[in-house]
């Protein structure tokens, strides 16, 4: 009589389901990864890239995509100049002079922070259109400060910028990031009230009359490719500025200024 065969016990599939399950359990969740500091994540990615070619390829592709996104991102900074104009000329207009005086330092500080952030974002997102928009917006902010000195707030803000060079520094930072072709394009624009170089020259004359933004001449020198040595007197002084006309040739008043005067 043939004895029954003993069923053999199945051997564990170490390369199959058990391995997959173990791997899935071992993968950290996004919440767990968030515990790590940025520096530690960077360190681990670099180590993994050195040991695994496929990881290295993924990391390099991700870096390239991020760089392309930054270069291609276009930012319109113009709303900053409109907001600052409104803050100086409208928001606190109904306040008494003493209260305007009290808030002037904080308002000037907010303007300085905005100016610095514009320059920083032009560096972070190095698109030529961003540099152009940033420089134009800073020019408008500067003109707002020059034209808004007929009440306490505007006057005190202007006083703050007699010693605060943040606007000129921000402009120089942006222009320094421009290519030679970008600078040449700005300088060779058709001359007239609408060209950026003419508007910057206008701002230089306004700033001189208000004793603010002493470094605007350096900005113009950088644009023209001239060496900057402690500021300079430039060709902008050859053309007069009619205080009774805005940039479109329309008459305007200077009490509180008009937003259209800045554009």
- Of the pLDDT bands very low, low, confident and very high (cuts 50, 70, 90), residue 103 is very high
Give the tens place of pLDDT for each residue, 227-246.
655 444 444 444 443 444 44
Q: What is the pTM of this model?
A: 0.69
Q: What is the rounded distance in angstroms from the CA atom of residue 86 to the CA atom of residue 259?
A: 8
Residue, of 140 and 231, whose pLDDT is higher: 140
Q: What is the rounded distance in angstroms from the CA atom of residue 52 to the CA atom of residue 49?
A: 5
Domain ranges of the chain: 38-72, 75-232
Q: Let me know how many helices (H) and strands (E) the chain has, helices first.
A: 12, 0
């Amino acid at each position: 009589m043939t004895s029954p065969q003993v069923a053999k016990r199945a051997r564990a599939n170490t390369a199959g389901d058990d391995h997959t399950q173990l791997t899935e359990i071992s993968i950290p969740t996004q919440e767990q990864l968030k515990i790590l500091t940025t520096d530690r994540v960077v360190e681990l990615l670099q180590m993994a890239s050195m040991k695994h070619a496929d990881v290295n390829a993924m990391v390099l592709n991700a870096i390239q995509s991020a760089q392309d996104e930054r270069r291609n991102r276009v930012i319109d900074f113009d709303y900053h100049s409109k907001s600052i104009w409104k803050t100086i000329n409208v928001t606190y207009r109904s306040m008494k002079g003493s209260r305007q005086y009290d808030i002037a330092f904080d308002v000037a500080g907010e303007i300085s922070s905005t100016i610095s952030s514009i320059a920083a974002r032009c560096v972070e997102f190095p698109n030529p259109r961003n540099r152009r928009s940033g420089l134009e917006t800073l020019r408008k902010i500067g003109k707002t400060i020059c034209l808004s000195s007929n009440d306490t707030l505007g006057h005190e803000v202007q006083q703050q910028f007699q010693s605060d060079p943040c606007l000129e520094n921000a402009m120089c930072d942006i222009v320094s990031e421009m290519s030679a072709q970008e600078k040449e394009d700005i300088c060779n624009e058709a001359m007239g009230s609408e060209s950026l170089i003419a508007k910057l020259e206008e701002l230089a004359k306004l700033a001189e009359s208000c004793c603010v933004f002493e470094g605007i001449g350096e900005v113009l020198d950088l644009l023209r490719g001239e060496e900057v040595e402690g500021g300079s007197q430039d060709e902008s002084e050859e053309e007069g500025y009619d205080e009774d006309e805005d940039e479109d040739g329309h008459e305007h008043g200077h009490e509180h200024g008009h937003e259209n005067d800045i554009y």
